[in-house]
Amino acid sequence: MAFWVSQTLNALALGGLLFMLASGFSLIFGLMRVANLAHGALFMLGAYVGLALVKAGFGFWTAAATTAVLVGVLGGVIERTLLRHLAGRTLPQVLLTLGLAFIIADACLMTWGGDPMRLPPPPELAGAVRFGDVVFPRYRLFVIFASAAVALGLWLLVERTRAGAMIRAAVDDVGMARAIGVSASTLFTAVFCLGTALAGLGGVIGGPILSVYPSLDQDMLPLALLVVILGGAGSLAGAFVGAYIIGFIYTFGQVLVPDLAYVILFLPMVAVLAVAPQGLFGRRLG
Amino acid sequence: MTRRMLPFAVVLAAMALVPVFTPSHFYVNLTSQVAIAAIGALGLNVLVGHAGLNSLGFAVFPGLSAYLVAWLSTLGGFDPVSAGLLAIGGTMLVAGLFGVVALRATGLGFVMITMALCQIVWGAAYRWTSVTGGDNGISAVPRPGTGLLPLERPEVFLWLCVGTLALALIQLGRFFDSPMGVALRGTRDQPRRMSAVGYDVWRIRFSAWMLAAAWGAVTGLLYAWYHQFVSPHMMAVTASAEVLLMVVAGGAGTLAGPLIGAALVVLLKNLASIWIERWVMLLGCTFVAIVLLMPDGIVPGFGLLRAALARLRPAPAPKLVPRERADV
Amino acid sequence: MPTNTSAVTFRRTRSKASCKAWLLATALAAVCAAPALAQQAPIKVGFMTVRSGALAAGGKQMEQGLEYCLAERGGKMGGRPVELITVDTAGQPATTKTRAQELVERVRVDAIIGPLAAFEALAIDDYIRQVGVPVISPSAAAEDLTQRKQNPWFVRAVGTSAQANHALGEYAAKDLKLKRVVTIGDDFAFGHEATAGFQRAFEDNGGKVVKKLWPPLNVADYGSYISQIPSDVDAVYAAFAGGNGLRFLQQYAEYGAPAKVIAQMTTVDEGILKSMGKEAVGVISSGWYTATQDVPGNKEFAAGIRAKYGADPGYYTAGAYEACAFLDAAVKAVDGKVEDKQALMKALREVKLDKGPFGEVALDPYGNPIMTVTIRRTEEKDGRLQNVVLKTYPKVSQFWTYDPKAFLADPVYSRDYPPARHLGN
């Protein structure tokens, strides 16, 4: 019993973390049809910047918020100066975002060195809680709730606000949205900022669990892609459900069939895509 | 020899003559690596440039065939040539199976499903240590070679690679000009229309997939013989991304693009790194610069440049770039 | 990083200015006493490190160890100046092979120190056999490199993956009196071999390994593995490399640390210890190098590294230093005549050092060092985490107390060999 409870909690925490990672990617893809392959690198950059701020004496929460803003601004700059010219051209976008991922990763290595570093959780969330036989880290409980809060916030933003209505309109039909007076240009930049800010925030939130090290980007990018594809690209609900499905499959798969630890994530994905190529919640993509 | 072939012939001849110009095996071996990478990039270009199917898992084909030939010619006890033939056959078999799954998707779905398939084979190579040696890989892979064709000598091996590259260029050049190649580009640009006028889109895509897999398998064979070592690293996501970058940087859909892209990546990685310590940064900056200056890649970029120059001059300039993308 | 910049600048200039100087020197050599001048030409040492990607931290520590060693010798070996040519393998086997070709075919080095990872060493194994260049490994620990696939051109300055873990296995059973242990280790050859060595010696001394866990090398989260550790075992044996030890111990502490931890050396290596917190305190591990170990020559070495780089030396720093010291000793033994590669290699295989970070070291007939192994406990001392020596095992070989012939007749250590007979007990 304790086994199932603690593994379920593990799965929820991992799923939450994956949602933090994948939601920004999904948001950007949904609106702009840009597969931002620098997303993993921005996540890692967030973790490094957050750590640097914590080391400089800022509190964890200040560091997380500042990092989100900084990475978001960087995202905005990338969108305005580079991506802007490549609308609708998949291959140049791939080349650009992968090139940026190389640059960001190597810059992190140059700035912070290759030593893996730990990002301590805020003191009020250190340690473990114990109920019955189950011991579970307090910080992971926080991640479970924080990711749910982020999901709720995003949902409210998209479904209940004017900006959200514009985003939804532009996702459905950019041309028509423009025609009725939505400034797609501002909207694109805003969403790109938001998406990259989420990556940066995810990096700081994930830091205490994952620790901060070079090649964190390469470890995380495939997971983000998996979540998005399984759930359906561009759909927040898809990213949410996809993240928790992956969290559960990963956690229980590694425990119950350790021999398949490496393929456990990819087999269900192949199965899902073979049946529903657009993912669980996705709409048909060209 | 047609005019279009001339630049290719010159480049290939120059590559083959590298051993004459330099006594150092290093440059000979580097040229072999360019040739091997170019064959792979040409294979992927069938999918990316002509079928409009972007794959982030192309390394699975070289990976499978390299592992097969490595295992067969070491533990399996086959001689290198039969092992090589069996490896290509085996890779094609698996590729056929994978194609049935992967071609159900297009767009981003295809990108991901190819990545997933590659990761599954990577995982098997990594985990199944009793057969694959895990992360330590398989070493001491023998090169084939007889008294007449001593492939253990770098220059002879280079000629094998350049010869194979020439074959790939000829075969793919003819394929792209053939009705099949035109139909393939049709499925890229207008799949519904193609289907409406009676083409079997799936079958055309499947043929392209198998063609790409075949040249991928050849790349893997040469890779295994060149390095005489295989390990799971050659199937990592970054390895697949590298091939994709070669194609896109050079110019997807062109015949010369993959060759130029392969040369660019291999030389930046292995030659520029001699002088520049942060070569990963350099690689990233190069990609960004290419996107900014010539978003469609080097070959189309120069094509446009030449066209612009030609408009300034009265006489039409001779066509240096072998073929433009039909849709540019 | 003075070493690499100097190497790079030298190579940049050689094509222009130094080329003339070199021609002049050759011309002079023809006129003057040729042999004397040949002795003064620099010895070219290729150094394969990692500066990009996941393994860059270890690469940097290796560079520091090597730089320190060369500075200590005034940039000379056996009276000849040393030209160091540093290359970045990026931790990729294919790149490693190309870099090795660059060193051998383009630069024409006299010897190579490197590479870092075992799979890199294996990727160039056949190549160095073909071209016959002496290679000294400063860190690659794969068992078979000096066992079933030993290479006449390869010696190792560090131990095998399992070398120190045999000792830990005996210590855990005899001194710590542990009965039932769960192992958890990185799912790659280094983790497999280390765990196998521990398990063999532990079970031969009456212990039982009741469960073996293998999280993938790039696993996102150890939580699901830690939850599988039963609360009634005596200890957890952890075999992690790189940054994974840091992540594992941190998460293990977050889950309330269900059992005491004993560990393979890189899990709590000095190179990573500086990034760790209280969770590492009390971990008992074994290794052939500990910054605090009391062997002839280590006190000066550890203090020197600390003064120069502000950090305790660990696995990679000491390994690279020792590889450099090996080469120095061999060059001295051949009177600086490194051009005779056979003689240099013979001298390398007969290297005996009486002091240094590892203390007294000699190579066994397979090219692997026989050296002191210590059992240490991680403690907080002088405001930082340090490994404090509990027990010393002198003259430990890669075969431990087993007969080499019988040892080599068995399969190489792996995830499933030797088989664990007590799983689930």
As given in the structure block, the two tokens for residue A33 are: 């049809």
For residues C212 and C425, the answer to whether their CB atoms sit within 8 Å is no
Number of domains in chain C: 2
Same domain, C320 and C377: no
A75 token code pair = 């995202």
Q: SS3 of A135, please? A: strand
Looking at residue C14, what is its pLDDT? 38
| Pairing outcome for strands C260-263 and C235-239 | parallel
Select the residue of B30, B129, B231 nearest C119 (Cβ to Cβ).
B231
| Dihedral of the alpha carbons of B150, B152, B156, B157, in degrees to the nearest 10 | 130
Contacts of A135 in chain C (CB under 8 A): 255-256, 258
Domain assignment present for residue C345? The answer is yes
**CB-closest option in C57, C213, C227 to A115:** C57
Kindly state whether residues C197 and C151 are assigned to the same domain. no
**Residue ranges covered by each domain of chain A:** 18-213
Claim to verify: residue C127 and residue C274 sit in the same structural domain: no
Q: CB–CB of A222 and B119 under 8 A? A: yes
Cβ neighbours of B85 (radius 10 Å): 14
The C-alpha of A10 sits at a distance from chain C's nearest C-alpha, in angstroms, of: 6
pLDDT value at A203 more than 70: yes
Please answer yes or no on whether B227 and C97 come within 8 Å at the CB atom: yes
| pLDDT-derived band at A278, boundaries 50, 70, 90 | confident
Mutate to test the interface with C, among B25, B33, B132, B139 (most CBs of C within 10 A): B139
Asked if C275 reaches chain A (Cβ–Cβ under 8 Å), the answer is yes
Identity of the amino acid at C37: L
In contact, A234 and A227? CB cutoff 8 Å: no
Residue-by-residue pLDDT tens, chain B, 328 positions:
577 789 999 999 999 999 999 888 999 999 999 999 999 999 999 999 999 999 989 999 999 999 999 999 998 999 999 999 999 999 999 999 999 989 988 887 788 789 889 988 998 998 888 889 888 899 889 998 877 788 889 999 999 999 999 999 999 999 999 999 999 999 999 999 999 999 999 999 999 999 999 999 999 999 999 999 999 999 988 899 999 999 999 999 999 999 999 999 999 999 888 888 888 899 999 999 998 888 889 999 888 888 888 777 655 544 444 444 444 3
Q: Where are the domains of chain B?
A: 5-236
Give the model's confidence band at A94: pLDDT under 50 very low, under 70 low, under 90 confident, else very high. Answer: confident
Closest residue in chain A to residue C278, using alpha carbons only: A120
User: In which domain, by residue range, is C134 found?
Assistant: 2-160+295-370
Residue identified by tokens 């066509």 is B319
Q: Per the CB < 8 Å rule, is A94 touching B48?
A: no
- Tell me the per-residue pLDDT of B206-245, one tens digit each, with 9 for 90 and over: 999 999 999 999 999 999 999 999 999 999 888 999 999 9
Scanning B272-301 for CB atoms below 8 A from C yields 273-275, 277-280
Residue C284 falls within a domain, yes or no?
yes
Q: Please report how many Cα atoms fall inside a 13 Å half-sphere around the Cα of residue A252, on the Cβ side.
A: 14
Is residue C416 a part of any domain in this protein?
A: no
- Please give the Cα distance from C262 to C356 (Å, whole number): 27
How many whole angstroms separate alpha carbon C152 and alpha carbon C134?
9
Instruction: Give alpha helix (H) positions in B142-200.
Output: 154-177, 179-189, 191-196
Q: What's the pLDDT at C296?
A: 95
Please tell me which of the candidates A95, A105, A266 has its beta carbon nearest to residue B291. A95
DSSP 8-state class, residue A1: -
If we measure between CA atoms, which residue out of C247, C198, C256 comes closest to residue C219? C247
pLDDT digits (tens, 9 = 90+) for A117-157: 999 999 999 888 988 888 899 999 999 999 999 999 999 99
Question: b vs e for A65-94, b when ≥16 Cβ sit within 10 Å of the residue's Cβ?
Answer: bbbbebbbebbbebbeebbeebeeebbbbb
Q: Is the pLDDT of residue C36 over 80?
A: no
Does A89 score more than 90 pLDDT?
no
Q: What are phi and psi of A160, to 5 degrees?
A: -115, -5
Mutation target among C87, C95, C119 for the B interface, most CBs of B within 10 A:
C119
Q: Which chains would you list as touching B if contact means 3+ CB atom pairs under 8 Å?
A: A, C
The CA distance from B191 to the nearest CA of chain A, in Å, is 10
- If contacts are CB pairs under 8 Å, which of residues 54-113 in chain B contact chain C? none
User: Do C148 and C180 fall into the same domain?
Assistant: no
C-chain residue closest to A263, CA distance: C216
Residues C79 and C149 reside in one and the same domain: yes
pLDDT score, position A283? 59
Q: What is the mean pLDDT of residues A257-264?
A: 81
In three-state form (DSSP H/G/I as H, E/B as E, the rest C), the secondary structure along chain C is CHHHHHHHHHHHHHHHHHHHHHHHHHHHHHHCCHHHHHHHCCEEEEEEECCCCCCHHHHHHHHHHHHHHHHHCCCEECCEEEEEEEEECCCCHHHHHHHHHHHHHHHCCCEEECCCCHHHHHHCHHHHHHHCCCEEECCCCCHHHHCCCCCCCEEECCCCCCHHHHHHHHHHHHCCCCCEEEEEECCCHHHHHHHHHHHHHHHHCCCEEEEEECCCCCCCCCHHHHCCCCCCCCEEEEECCCCHHHHHHHHHHHCCCCCEEEECHHHHCHHHHCCCCHHHCCCEEEECCCCCCCCCCHHHHHHHHHHHHCCCCCHHHHHHHHHHHHHHHHHHHCCCCCCCHHHHHHHHHCCEECCCCCCCEEECCCCCEEEEEEEEEEEEECCEEEEEEEEEEEEECCCCCCCHHHHHHCCCCCCCCCCCCCCCC
CA atoms of A220 and A217, how far apart (whole Å): 5
Amino acid (1-letter code) at residue B245:
L
Query: What would the pLDDT profile of C221-274 be if each residue is shown by its tens digit?
Result: 898 999 899 889 999 999 999 889 999 999 999 888 889 999 999 999 999 999
A107: chain B residues, CB-CB within 8 Å: 281
Shortest Cα distance, chain B CAs vs residue A92, angstroms:
6
Say whether both C7 and C81 belong to one domain.
Answer: yes
Distance CA A37, CA A95 (A): 9
C130, HSE (Cβ side, Cα atoms, 13 Å): 18
Q: Which residues in chain A have their CB less than 8 angstroms from residue C56's CB?
A: 109, 113-114, 214
Q: Is the ipTM of this complex over 0.90?
A: no
A227–chain B nearest CA distance, Å = 11
Mutation target among C5, C63, C98 for the B interface, most CBs of B within 10 A: C98
pTM: 0.90
Provide the pLDDT for residue C27: 47
C97 to B270: CB separation less than 8 angstroms, yes or no: no
List CB contacts (< 8 A) between A92 and chain B.
Answer: 248, 291, 295-296
Q: CA–CA separation, C172 vs A19, rounded Å?
A: 43
CA distance B197 to B45: 26
Chain A CB within 8 Å of residue B249 CB = yes
Using alpha carbons, select from A64, A82, A62 the residue that is nearest to residue A72. Answer: A64
Contact A6 C271 (CB under 8 A): no
User: Nearest 5°: phi and psi at B51?
Assistant: -100, -10
> A6, C227: Cβ pair inside 8 Å?
yes
Contacts of A105 in chain B (CB under 8 A): 280
DSSP at B266: H
In chain C, residues with a C-beta closer than 8 Å to the C-beta of A136 are 255
CA distance C164 to chain A (A): 24
Q: Which letter does DSSP use for residue B59 in this model?
A: T
Residue B29 forms contact with C (CB below 8 Å): yes
Nearest to C101 among B26, B228, B229 (CB): B26
CB-nearest partner of A115 from C220, C254, C275: C275
A252 interaction partners in chain C (CB closer than 8 Å): 224
Same domain, C250 and C310: no
Residue whose entry in the numeric block shows the structure tokens 């791939």:
A94
Q: C233 and C331 in one domain?
A: no
C11 pLDDT higher than 50: no
Q: Hey, is the C-beta of B119 within 8 angstroms of any chain A C-beta?
A: yes
Task: Answer yes or no: do A35 and B106 touch at CB < 8 A.
Answer: no
CATH number of the domain that residue C72 is part of: 3.40.50.2300
What pLDDT was estimated at residue A87? 81
Candidates C14, C122, C154, C186: best to mutate against B (most CBs of B within 10 A) is C122
Residue in C57, C223, C275 nearest the CB of A118: C275
User: How many Å is the Cα radius of gyration of chain C?
Assistant: 22
Q: B135, B268, B269, B276: best mutation site toward chain C, by most C Cβ within 10 Å?
A: B135
Same domain, C314 and C217: no
State whether C123 and B229 contact (CB < 8 Å).
yes
| Interchain contact A210–C (C-beta under 8 A) | yes
Distances in whole angstroms, Cα of residue B107 to Cα of each of A230, B265, C194: 14, 25, 45
